[in-house]
Structure 1
Amino acid sequence: MRVPVPALALLASLLLVAACGKQGALTPVGRPAPVAPVGTMRAPSPQQMLRTDAQAAPARIDDQTGQLRDRGEDPFNLPPPKR
C-alpha cells in the first residue's frame, strides 16, 4: 500500500504544528489587565471574572419531563379551517 506524498507531507506538518505549543504561563500582550471596578479596592482575579452569579445562570428546580397536569377544556382549540 503506497501513501501519496502530499498526504505524508500534510501529516508531518500537522505533527510539527501540534508539537510546538507553549508550555509556560501566558502573559497579556498589547492590552493591560482590567482595572478594578468602581467601589472595590482591587481588580477581580480571572477566576472571579469567569464565575457567574445565580441570576445569570439560574438552577433548574423543576423537571419538565415529569408528570404533566391536565389543562382541561380549551375553548380556543379549534380545528384548522377547511379549504
Structure 2
Amino acid sequence: MRTGILLRGIGFAMLPLALAACGGRQPLKPIEGQKMPAVPVGAAAAPTAQELMTPSIQARPERTVDLLTNSRVREDDPFDLPPESQP
C-alpha cells in the first residue's frame, strides 16, 4: 500500500522534469517550402527570428510608480446595484 503511494509521489515529482525536457533549444527556421515574413514598411531589412520573439516596449511597458499614499473611504455609488433575480 505504501509503495504505491510512494511511487505515485515520485511520478508526480518527475512530471515537471519530463515536461521541461520537451522544449526545443534550436534556432527558429522557416518550414521547408515557406518564405520568411515580408519586410515591414520602412524597415531596411527583415527582422530576425530573435527580433520577432523579443517583445517591444509597447508590449511590455515599464511600471509606473503611482503608489497609494493615503487611503480614503469609498463614496456610495448609486449605480452599484445587486443583479436582478431571473424567474
Query: Normalising by structure 2, what TM-score?
Result: 0.41
More helix by share: 2
Structure showing greater relative contact order (alpha-carbon pairs closer than 8 Å, 6 or more residues apart) = 2
Structure number with bigger Rg: 1
Query: Normalising by structure 1, what TM-score?
Result: 0.42
